Chain A
Amino acid sequence: MAAPFSKTDDSVVVIIGTGAGGGTLANELAQKGISVVALEAGGRYLPEDYVNDEWASFAQLAWLDTRRSDGSFRLARDFAGLPSWIVKAVGGTTTHWAGASLRFQDHEWKALTNYGRVEGASLLDWPLDAAEMDPWYTLAEAKMGVTRTNGQPGLPGNTNFLVLEKGAKAVGYKEVHTGRMAINSIEYGGRQACQQTGFCFQGCKWGAKWSTAYTEIPLGEETGNLEVRERCHAARIEHDDKGRVTGVVYFDASGVEQRQAARIVCVAGNTIESPRLLLNSASSMFPDGLANSSGQVGRNYMRHVTGSVYSIFERPVRMWRGTTMAGIMQDEARHDPSRGFVGGYELETLSLGLPFMAAFLDPGAWGREFTSAIDGYENMAGMWIVGEDMPQETNRVTVDTAVVDQFGLPTPVVHYDDHPNDVAMRDHAYERGIAIHRAAGAVRSLPTPPYPSTHNIGTNRMSDNPRDGVVNRWGQTHDIPNLFVSDGSQFTTGAAENPTLTIVALAIRQADHIAREMGAGNL
């Protein structure tokens, strides 16, 4: 039974956002007997509510409040009002995610040490390493039922995977399989196995894909220690004259301003909303925003080096059948500067439905060149590039006080310029991706520009030295001991891997830390 807590109850932990980070943290704390109020801007949608239709699903779940892109990356031109694809719903973006769940490679925890200084990049070592994260990753993988971990079998490959596999092996790659996916390959955790319906990006109607919406959140609520307040948009975090946070002001489902008192506040609104909230919480004591004495809040926004390669074959592939992203080629994920860039990238199978394909294949394009590509949809195979992009201080989220949202709050502006390392990596990946498809028999290949960012990381980076970042090794802000960051915005650097498994592992670890510190009377 979900516990209703009083708004004046200042013993509760308030978590803002219920996605990968916030939803996991909420359940973990609740399981430990800690009272939690989770404020979630979106509504609650469960598998029976999801819509197997790309644009209808996007309209149902995506975050569509006012945002602006800025900078030289192509997205600012193609999708000026949609810099990122993030979900506004209980469960956050774990409703729309594809489930790829990879650990960082060991060297990626220490990017500065291993890559050296890269001009124009603000590389930094994480205050953590692979050995320290290993047990938390193991717990996260077990929680999420990740395939190829803990004895879970892999997902069976669909035709899009068979194309990738055939081409990759033909050009000499070795590490090719159907991935480590938080999608049940067999019944697990009270949820059934994947039915290969191919709508992973629209919310899994079978519940086979892990999402906090129907795993962590109800489990936490069952304890009686977690109350999720849906359609409640956090507007600012308040503090006392000692500089400790005391509560969160939010707009409820009716648009009425409310205040929830708090012992601890954990911000987990995703990489754009979390820094926005800290910046919008500026006060006379913290004129530049909360936890921002370093000036680092909002900086070092990362989105991974992305792009896709779609290729047309002589005969049908029907890539849309089966899981959207269960296929990976990992040989290029290593750090090998002889390729002309630092860091590495993964190539993962990807399929878009026809409606999305028409919008994203070459935004703004028209004419025979474009329509003939769309005509070839049935014979198309696809893959996605996920590579480590360089953190840059100037890639950042700021707030525009002149443009306000429906609550009168300043809106976020996302500035991003590709670093030359990003461009070199993307070009390399396009070339390798095309080579793979050609080796499998492709007759035409279409390198496709990045879509609105699905991997939004950085902006409240973790650092040892308070001068370099916003949070310490526990996600606790350097400036305010009872204020935590619990989502992907903590990332110091991005690594080549899809981020969510790491977000979940960090959230489990953070819950452990918070419980221990509360128990010791330090929080």
Chain B
Amino acid sequence: MKLSLPALAFAGLTAAAPVPAQEAPPDAARLEAMTCREFLALDAAGQATVKAAMQAHASGEPPPGAPLPAPPAGGAASARVVEDRTGAAEGPDTAATEMAAAPGGAAAPGVAGGQNESGKVAPGGTEASVTDEGGDLRLLAMRTSCEGGPDALALNALRAAFGNSL
């Protein structure tokens, strides 16, 4: 069933089709297969690189120059993934917890990059957030989308982070 909402006029934008595999650069397969567990296992710089590459990939744009980071030593299993009660993957602290304290900011896509009441464009449409997180709001949105859902595709977390604006 398709909803006959005017709002759904935007629907086609929410999940931009990935570049078909045969035309895609060699990293594309890795980006498409990367899980949230793997994404969260990367350090902050690695996550930023992956996010930029995924953003380009999902928008059908050429990849940015930076090479994708290697998976962390010990593999994805070393990531500390905030897990739900029914899951199991708990490991030593690395990326996920680092990110929580790292630069970030208000993450929700609908508010990110918005115009705040004082008229200046502020991260996440907020003044400096009480969380003291600044920086890449979409990355923070992707991180919060991924946490607690280690098996989701990181590319889908990127889509969730961008909402309609990818």
Contact = CB atoms under 8 A, between A and B. Distances in A.
Interface of A: 46-48, 103, 105, 147-148, 151-159, 161-163, 165-166, 169, 174-178, 180, 185-187, 189-197, 205-207, 214-215, 218-219, 222, 313-318, 321-323, 330, 333, 379, 381, 440-441
A315 B160 contact: no
Contacts of A185: 145, 156, 159-160
A321 B153 contact: no
B163 A193 contact: yes
B33 interface: no
A103 B2 CA distance: 28
A154 B3 contact: no
Contact of A330 (B36, B84, B157): B84
B100 A196 contact: no
Contacts of A178: 144-145, 147-148
6 nearest A-B pairs in the assembled complex, by CB-CB distance: A196-B110, A177-B148, A156-B141, A157-B144, A322-B108, A185-B160
Contacts of A187: 11, 14-15
Interface in B12-70: 14-15, 36
22 contacts: A47-B7, A151-B152, A153-B149, A155-B145, A156-B141, A157-B145, A159-B107, A159-B126, A162-B131, A166-B100, A169-B100, A175-B85, A186-B160, A187-B14, A190-B2, A192-B8, A195-B110, A207-B7, A215-B1, A314-B130, A321-B108, A322-B110
Contacts of A215: 1
A195 B13 CA distance: 12
Interface in B142-166: 142, 144-149, 151-153, 156-157, 159-161, 163-164
B152 to A, nearest CB: 4
Interface of B: 1-3, 5-8, 10-11, 14-15, 36, 82-86, 97, 100, 104, 106-111, 124-131, 133, 140-142, 144-149, 151-153, 156-157, 159-161, 163-164
A154 B152 contact: yes
Q: Which of A197, A222, A318 gathers most chain B CB within 10 Å? A: A318
Contact of B5 (A48, A103, A156): A48
B160 A154 contact: yes
A436 B125 CA distance: 24
Nearest to A442: B130
Contacts of B104: 162
B36 A153 contact: yes
Given A153-B156, A207-B5, A330-B84, A318 B149 contact: no
B87 to A, nearest CB: 9
Contacts of A315: 127-130
